[in-house]
Every structure is written in structure tokens, then in C-alpha cells.
Structure 1
Amino acid sequence: MDVRLIKPGGVSAHAEDELPALLARDDGIVWVDIATCDPAAVTALRDAFGFHPLALRDASVRNRVPKIHPYPGHVFVILHAPHFGARGHVHYIELDQFIGARYLVTIHGPVNPAVPPDVPLRQTRDVLRRIESGRFTPASGFELSYAIVSSISRLQETLVEDVTAEVWRLEQRVTAGHLGNPEQFLEELFQARHGLLAVRTMAALGGAIYGRMVTLPRAAVPPEALHLVTDVVDQFDRVRTVADGEREYLQGVIEFYKARTDTKMTIAAERLAVIAAITLPITALSSVYGMNLIVNDKTQVPHLVAVLLLMAVMSATLLGWAKRQGWW
């Protein structure tokens, strides 16, 4: 548990047992950042802040959907940030927040063991570096939370841009016909669609959560913080809109690929049918003369040559006719 006091003069680190004294002060913002919410952290938060037991329970387990619960004097929010793992899998990185006028508690939820341990802490550490460098000094817990959530929305937007670059490369391969292994190409298409859908879902649900926050009683969200909440809604809506547009674009690429593949299969079937029609006279004559034109010392060579020429002429005639019909 990292406990910090943020004042216009800078940020200072404090011990956990100093929390009651820090909350009693009327200067600065108290920021508590918890990497893992274990029972000891739950006890410390309950004793220092008096948070609701249900909110503390949600903060200590993994939540698969965002949530928001208003309480007198603060709001409890659960959000997710994306992280692209191996083979295109998108991990949901949970961030829980208790947002008050003079404090912010950020809790990093449990993550998949495949996710590097520093990934869940990136957004909070980026904001901390800005505070330590003097480039950012929040005036309230809502303003500090706004900086962290804005970092999450920028991450979502960056990932949409990365997937878009991959979609463009896939489209170029489709139009140029350089698909390589078809199974691998399809896997890349579906990985891109999965990434866009996952980020789009996170942004849409995040926007819905903060949209709900706008309507909360003023006892939970002070009026001076409403413009920050509204801006977060706009950020998430922008990411969702961009992801929707790129997903539709990718769907067009997939449909073009399917149409091109279906066309190739149709052409191949037509050519196989023409080949079958061309070789049909050969099959017919072979079935009639096969037993009478056995190649040995008794073979009637002139007769054999005449039959072979007849087969060639009939096949050539059928091939010419197929070309005139545009089937070959």
C-alpha cells in the first residue's frame, strides 16, 4: 500500500498508520495506491475510510464488468484497461477507485498470471511521475482520478490505432493476392477483430459508467467535478466510435476476402467441369476401343493412330467451344 499526500508544493510518501491523520488535514489530496487488495488492505481501508463492506469485497476480487456505486461523500468505480497478450488475446486489466473530494484510493484488481506485473500499474505510475515532476497538481480526488482514467482512454485509443495499422496491412495482402497460408491469414483477421471488439466493449461500458455518474446525487459527485466526468464520457465515446468504424472497415476486408475466395472456388469448379467435359470423348472411346486396341505385337497401328487423333480433335473442339463461351 502506497500512501501519498499531494500538495501544491509537491508529493510526499507516508506510512499506512498515518492515514487517519492525513485524512483529518484540510490541505492536500490523499492518494492511496494498492497493487493487491489483501485482507490487511481491506482492514486498513475499512478502519481509515469506513468504506462499505460490499464495495471492499468487490475491490478484493476480480470483476468482469465495470460497476459504479455512489455512497455519501464518495463514489466507487470499477473500470478495465486493455492489454494485448500472446496470439492476439486481450487481457482485462481492472482498476477500482474510491473517489472522494479530498482523497483517491486506487486498487489494481487480480490479473492473469500471463500479464507482466508492471502492466496494471502503468497508468497510475505515469500520473505519479507527472505529479512528481511538477507538471500536474490535482486539486481534488476527482481531478486525480480524471488524469488516471484519461490515461486509460488514451491507451484504448492507441491500441485501436495499432489494430488499425494491422487491418491496413491485411487489406493490402487481400487486394494484392499475397495471402500466404490461408489458415494463418484467417487467424490474423479474427485476432484483429477480437482486439477491436474488446477495446470497443471496454470503452462503451466505461462511457456508460461515467454517464451514470453525471446523474448521481451531488452528495457523491460535487458540481465542480461534473465537467471532468462529462469529458471522460466524451473520451470513451470517441474511442468507441473509432473502434466501431474500424470494426466495420475490417468486416469489409473479411467480406472481400470471402468473396475473392468464393470466386476462386467457383472458377476452379468451372474449369474442373470443362476438363471433365473435354475428357469425356476420350473416356467414351477408350471404353469402346480399349479392349480392341491393346498395345502389343498385334496392335493395328493405323487404327490406333486414327483413334488417338479422333480423341485429340474432339477434345480440342470442345476446348475451343468452352473458350468461346468464356468458360476457360
Structure 2
Amino acid sequence: MHTLTVFQRHGFQAVTDLDQISDLLMQPRTLIWLDLEQPTASEIERLRAEFGFHPLALEDALQEHERPKIETYPGYYLIIFYSVGYNASERSLQFLPITLFVGANYLVSIRSGPVRHVQQTLARWQTNSHVPGYQVSSVLYALIDAIVDDYFVVLDQIGEQIDEVEEAIFQRGRQEVASEIFTLKKDLLLFRRIVAPERDILNVLLRQEVRIFQPRELAYVRDVYDHLVRLTESIDLYRDLLSSALDSYLSLQGNQLNQLVKVLTLWSIILMACSLVAGIYGMNFVFMPELEQPWGYPFALGLMLTIAVGLGIYFKRSNWW
């Protein structure tokens, strides 16, 4: 599935034949955006033939777990960004890489699944809504800005899940809290491994090591960079909160275990005292007057009960119970 959108002086048009790309690239003031979802081998070969992409760049585009980065090739740049979504049913994050080939008058995006930011950015671009202009840099900014803005929505959903976990810590019977905490910490770690390199990508663009944006457009890029810095700080804050929540959970579990051990210890003391009485009268010596008395057995039971009640009252007044 592919979408080829071309902007010329007379407006936008959709092109279905990829063989026209080389001809369109030769036309002045023509801007091309080619979006490919799960491209086939023939489409990848067509990209190499029409755009002249390096085989290593195309290989990076097909990698599922390639880290975010920016690389310079003759005549174009390779940028790998990530779209992040939150799966409410599984309560987990989903990461989808987007590979961008940025040339002088074209943008090629390759993805392995649906990314709504692409359709939204294309619609905004065609209506010129919140897009600085009709340059490749403008479209690239609009797409990256839409992706980064959605990070805040995902992070807010994670924050709500962290609040639920913190409340569940103080509820009895929530043994799955620890697994939820570890899952959240893992998701946040993966999230940070994406946001931090993307921040470096924006930093490279701001330093003009790779000249894509015009000086007047750097303010927009700087705004996205600030958003990524805030996201990194928020992710680190949430990870610290989860670490504190895990410490609290383990502390509560330890206190509950100590309480259980204390109760068992007190009961063992009571039973040991009763066993002492039973052991004395179970020795069966000849000269034990109580053994020959009719009240000997009730006396032994009563003595055990008295000792048990007495110890219980003492433990209760001592706040040990």
C-alpha cells in the first residue's frame, strides 16, 4: 500500500504510478511525498531505481527494531523516528518505527503498520493548516511535531496507570502490583530509549550539521526539541515514582510478613506454656498427688487455660498482639 502525493503550482494531485517519480523529480517547484506501508520487494527495488537510495539505507528502513537516528547520504538524509501508542486493553506501549528519506524536493516515509500521524499531517499539509509552507522541511516538521505531541498523550495515560498502581499498593490482595510496576518500568525504559535519540536528532538539525531547515524554521524545530526535553524529564520522574512505589510495596509486604511472624511467635509462646504443664503432668511419676485426685485432670486443663488467657491479656496490654 502506497500513497504518492505531489504538490505543484496548480495544487495537489495523487499519483498511482511509481514510474513517474523520476520525471516528477526533474520538474521545478514540485514537492513529492511518497508514503509506503509494508512495502513489497518490488517497491523497495523501485525506490532504489527511482531515487537512487543506498542499499544500506533501504536495509535500515526495513529493520523492525532500528534505533532512532539521522544519517547523511549523497543528496538525501535518512531519519528514523518512532510513533508511540498506548494499548488500553493490554495496558502497554506500542512502538512503530517510521523511516524518512528527506531530499531536496521529496519526502519518502516507510512504515510497517498504520500511523495516523501520516494521514493527519497530509491533510494538514493539503489545507495549509499549521504548516509553515510548501517545502520539504515544512512537511517534515509537521510530521515530527504531530508524532512528538502524541507522546504527551501516551505519557498522561501512563501517569494515570501509575496513580492506579500507587492506590493498589495499599489494598490487600493485590499481589499483581509488583508485576505491573516492573511492566511500567520496562515500558518507560523503552520509551526513553526512543525519546533520547530523537532529541539528539533534533539537536543535529538545530546545529545545522544537516541542513534541512531554513533559519526562519529553526524556531519550530527548537519547539519540538523542547518538547522532547520535557518528555525525557517526565519519563525520568515517572521512573523514580515507580521505584519509590516498588520500595513502598516491598516495605508493606515486609511489614505484613513481620506482623504474621509476630502473631505466630506469640501463639507459639502460649502453646509452649501449655505444653510445659502437659509435659509435667505427663511424666507419670509415682509421687504426684494430683494424678490420684479426681480433680487432677480438670485442674491441669484449667491451669493451661489460665496461663493462655493470662499471656493473651499481657500481650494485648503490651501492644504486642
Contact preservation (8 Å) 2:83, 2:115: no
Deviation of 1:124 (Å): 0.4
Say whether 1:172 aligns with 2:167: yes
Aligned to 1:239: 231
* Residue type at the aligned position of 1:98: F
* Residue type at the aligned position of 1:152: I
Which range is displaced more, 99-108 or 83-92? 83-92
Say whether 1:143 aligns with 2:138: yes
Which range is displaced more, 258-267 or 223-232? 223-232
Distance of 2:283 and 2:56 partners within structure 1: 90
Aligned to 2:43: 41
SS in 2 for 1:135: coil
Matches within 5 A, 1:146-165: 146-165=141-160
SS in 2 for 1:57: helix
**TM-score, with structure 2 as normaliser:** 0.86
- Which of 189, 206, 223 is the equivalent residue of 1:197? 189
Corresponding residue pairs, total = 312
SS in 2 for 1:65: coil
Distance of 1:35 and 1:156 partners within structure 2: 22
Contact preservation (8 Å) 2:79, 2:101: yes
Contact preservation (8 Å) 1:37, 1:59: no
In angstroms, what is the RMSD of aligned CA positions? 2.7
Deviation of 1:77 (Å): 0.8
Cα–Cα, structure 1 residues 106 and 237, in superposed 2: closer, same or farther, change >3 Å?
same
Deviations 1:245-275 (A, max 9, x none): 1221222222212111111111111121111
Aligned to 2:105: 102
Aligned to 1:113: none
Identity of counterpart residues, as a percentage?
Answer: 24
Distance of 1:317 and 1:302 partners within structure 2: 22
Aligned to 1:327: 320
Which range is displaced more, 98-107 or 83-92? 83-92
Contact preservation (8 Å) 1:150, 1:235: no
* Residue type at the aligned position of 2:319: G
Aligned to 1:22: 24
Which range is displaced more, 140-149 or 229-238? 229-238
* Residue type at the aligned position of 1:144: V
Deviations 1:284-306 (A, max 9, x none): 222332475xxxxx995511121
Aligned to 2:266: 274
Aligned to 1:67: 69
Deviations 1:177-227 (A, max 9, x none): 324341x23222223323322222211121122223334545566545544
Say whether 1:80 aligns with 2:76: no
**TM-score, with structure 1 as normaliser:** 0.84
* Residue type at the aligned position of 1:289: Y
Q: Which runs of 5+ in 1 are unaligned?
A: 111-116, 293-297
Aligned to 1:295: none
Distance of 1:140 and 1:47 partners within structure 2: 24
Higher relative contact order (CA 8 A, sep 6+): 1
